[in-house]
Amino acid sequence: MGLTLLEVMDLVEVMREKRGVNELPLAMLMVPGMGLRGVPRGAPKAGGGGGEEVKAAEKTAFDVRLEGFDAAAKIKVIKEVRTFTSLGLKEAKDLVEKVPAVLKKGVTKEEAESIIAKMKEVGAKVSME
């Protein structure tokens, strides 16, 4: 028996209502090659109670994003961007001018916080994603 995507979504909604589940666990995401329960097809099914919660993995890599800056501090912001990137003066200027822009990708939380602190000192508005 093959179900359409809409039929599967309806079935999931009915099952959630019957079981009293408010949110879907992360394991319910559909990934090619995975079964409906988030388990690879053919893999043994986990037994036991249904009240287990899936803990999300803590994020380890962050992106530092420049949201804006004070117009008077533009030169300071460009100089600071150059200190933690390997960009030249022109590239750093172009990056700063196309706000909002990602300044650095895939950095640790500590490094991102350090960059954010330095950028805020020179008048930039920065966020961590």
Using CA atoms in the order 81, 84, 89, 93, what is the torsion angle rounded to 10 degrees? Answer: -20
Single pTM value for the model? 0.52
pLDDT at 52: 46
The residue ranges of every structural domain in the chain are 1-42, 62-128
Contact of 119 with 77, CB cutoff 8 Å: yes
pLDDT digit string (tens) for the chain, length 129 residues: 677 877 877 787 887 778 877 665 545 555 555 555 555 555 555 555 544 444 555 777 888 888 888 888 888 988 888 888 888 899 888 888 888 888 888 888 888 888 889 888 888 888 888
pLDDT at 45: 53
Buried b (16+ CB within 10 A) or exposed e, 81-118: bbebeebeeeebbebbeeeeeebbeebeeeebeebbee
Q: Class for domain 62-128, per CATH?
A: alpha beta
